Amino acid sequence: MNDVKAPARKRLRTETVSGIVGYRLRRAQMHVFQQFNLHFAEFDLRPAEFSVLALIADNPGSKQTEIAHALGIKRANFVALINGLDARGLTERRLLADDRRSHALFLTAQGERLMTKLSKAQTEFEASWIAKLGGPEARDQLLSLLDRLVTKD
């Protein structure tokens, strides 16, 4: 009756990899991103695109290099990303008078409207993880531990 689809595989010993912080981080991150893509399917938006929109919303007028740097993205790779958002009418580049090299980034009116919906969806999405973790304190605890991994020395 059961195992109609499951290949009924042998259970492997995973004690070595399971004890590795990097491995566990990787698996968790992959899973959360997959769920993100499911949850945000209607918006056709990748995690990186969401983060760009959120960062521009919080910092209108920032330069491409600034946004890319804050997200840990090489500015060369950021170009295609912002081009895509521009082409969808969500963001726009304005030329600065005082520095004609750089582009100031802004959300368009459409981008602002989308961001409103995205924030709502994101709050729901985040709530599902908080529930899984066991409450807001557990979430804060996780973020705090993750922060220690990234902070230098």
Interface with its own copies (CB under 8 A):
7, 9-10, 12-33, 36, 47, 51, 54-55, 57-59, 62, 65-67, 69-72, 122, 126, 129, 132-134, 138-139, 141-143, 145-151
Beta strand segments in 89-130, E: 91-95, 103-107
Q: Which of residues 130-149 bind DNA (CB under 7 A)?
A: none
Judged by beta carbon distances under 5 to 8 A according to partner kind, the member of DNA, its own copies, none in contact with residue 55 is its own copies
Judge whether 39 and 125 are in contact, CB under 8 Å: yes
Exactly one of 40, 63, 107, 111 binds DNA (CB under 7 A); which one? 63
Rounded alpha-carbon distances, angstroms, from residue 140 to 50, 129, 131, 152: 21, 12, 12, 20
Query: In the structure encoding, which two tokens stand for residue 65, read together?
Result: 């290099």
What is the DSSP secondary-structure string of 125-141? HHHHHHHHHTSHHHHHH
By beta-carbon proximity to DNA, the closer residue of 102 and 121 is 102
Looking at 12, 38, 41, 76, which residue binds DNA (CB under 7 A)? 76
Q: Which does 121 bind (CB under 5 to 8 A by kind): its own copies, DNA, none?
A: none
Q: Is there binding between residue 22 and DNA (CB under 7 A)?
A: no
The candidate with the shortest Cα–Cα distance to 82, out of 66, 98, 100, is 66
DSSP string spanning 33-72? HHHHHHHTGGGT--HHHHHHHHHHHHSTT-BHHHHHHHHT
Asked if 103 touches DNA (CB under 7 A), the answer is yes
Q: If contact means CB under 5 to 8 A according to the sort of partner, which of its own copies, DNA, none does residue 114 touch?
A: none
Q: Does 77 sit near DNA (CB under 7 A)? A: yes
